[in-house]
């Protein structure tokens, strides 16, 4: 499992300095059914907007 998860979405509540993700777990899904061919075909379901 990855030790460091990087994220550039600074309006996510899990975003931290240095583009670090501080969520306790990450959930990524394919947005094209069950299989993705590249990263553009995936979505991070862990995202929550900062309030």
| pLDDT tens, residue by residue, 23-33 | 999 999 999 88
pLDDT at 1: 66
Beta-carbon count within 10 A of 21 CB? 20
- 6 lies in which domain range? 1-51
Total domains, the chain: 1
Q: Average pLDDT for residues 14-25, to the nearest whole number?
A: 96
Q: Tell me: pLDDT of 11 over 70.
A: yes
Beta-carbon count within 10 A of 5 CB? 16
């Amino acid at each position: 499992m990855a030790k460091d998860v990087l994220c550039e979405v600074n309006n996510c509540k899990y975003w931290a300095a240095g583009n670090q993700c501080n969520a306790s777990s990450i959930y990524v899904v394919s947005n094209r059914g069950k299989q993705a061919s590249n990263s553009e075909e995936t979505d991070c379901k862990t995202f929550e907007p900062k309030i």
